[in-house]
Amino acid sequence: MEKFKAEREELNRLVMRYAGREVKRFFNVDADVYRDGALPAKVKELLGLVSSLVLRCDDCVTYHLTRCREEGVTDPELEEALAVGLVVGGSVTMPHFRRAFRAWEELKSDDGT
């Protein structure tokens, strides 16, 4: 998980060396769309997580899992959200579904919980 975060930050720095105005604005919108509003950040992170699962993006799933953890998502809430993604996206999401639980275990282990 530490390695995941470090690599992500290093690549973001590289992207920003190349990024023009549109890319920078896109990155800002991507950060802001998950902020508290009419819906709490926790629900928005679950939306990002399940969208990432059905689109089968491991890195996106891992990122949203770290944010879900910070927002206090519980084990049963996580399981129910991922279950929606599994049913919507079908068995082709199963490898990502399995790895999501492994990443969640690692996050809990890093927390000492």
Supply the angle between the helices 41-54 and 75-89 in degrees, to the nearest 10: 40
Nearer to its own copies, 12 or 110 (CB): 12
Q: CB neighbours (10 Å) of residue 34? A: 18
Q: Where are the alpha helices (DSSP H) in 37-93?
A: 41-54, 58-70, 75-89
Interface with its own copies, residue 76, by CB under 8 A = yes
Number of residues that bind its own copies (CB under 8 A): 64
Give the interface with its own copies as residue ranges (CB under 8 A): 8, 11-12, 14-15, 18-23, 25-26, 28-30, 32-34, 37-39, 43-44, 46-48, 50-52, 54-57, 59-60, 74-95, 97-99, 101-102, 105
